């Protein structure tokens, strides 16, 4: 699962048309970073979910790396006053572990927000 960082700030500072632009860019980058047999979709708001045929656990990290690299190129090439970034959560789906899909989504959402908090913590600078 991917969550766009600071979309509310973009919407508030630059308007909802700009926020919609960011959503479209992230969606395009995710789609172009996945392999042919992977699936991605917008869950709502600023969240995207993708499923990969995970034959090797490191495949997901290769995809996350591609998304980050493609987003880095986008940020370098656009003339915006902000950088687009995202947080993510990774969780292998196992039907034996989850009674329903909502339980799975709840767990992956927790992982994503844990990643977001770590990013926020790591970005704090000392005065």
The pLDDT tens digits of the residues spanning 15-53 come to 999 999 999 999 999 999 998 888 899 988 899 988 887
Closest CA to 34 of 20, 47, 53: 53
- For residue 31, the Cα-to-chain-centroid distance in whole angstroms is 12
pLDDT at 57 over 80: no
Q: Which CATH architecture has domain 2-122?
A: 2-Layer Sandwich (3.30)
pTM confidence score? 0.81
Tell me the catalytic residues: 46
Domain boundaries, the chain: 2-122
3-state secondary structure 37-89: CCEEEEEECCEEEEECCCCCCCHHHHHHHHHHHHHHHHHHHCCCCCCCCEEEC
């Amino acid at each position: 699962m991917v969550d766009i960082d600071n979309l509310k700030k973009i919407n508030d500072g630059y308007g909802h048309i700009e926020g919609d632009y960011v959503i479209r860019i992230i969606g395009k980058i995710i789609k172009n970073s996945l392999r042919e047999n992977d699936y991605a979709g917008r869950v709502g708001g600023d969240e995207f979910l993708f499923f990969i045929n995970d034959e090797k656990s490191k495949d997901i990290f290769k995809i996350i790396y591609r998304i980050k690299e493609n987003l880095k190129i986008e940020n370098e090439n656009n003339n915006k006053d902000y950088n687009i970034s995202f947080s993510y959560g990774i969780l292998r789906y196992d039907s034996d572990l989850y009674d329903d899909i909502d339980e799975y989504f709840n767990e992956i959402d927790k992982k994503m927000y844990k990643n977001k908090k770590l990013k926020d913590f790591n970005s704090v600078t000392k005065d």
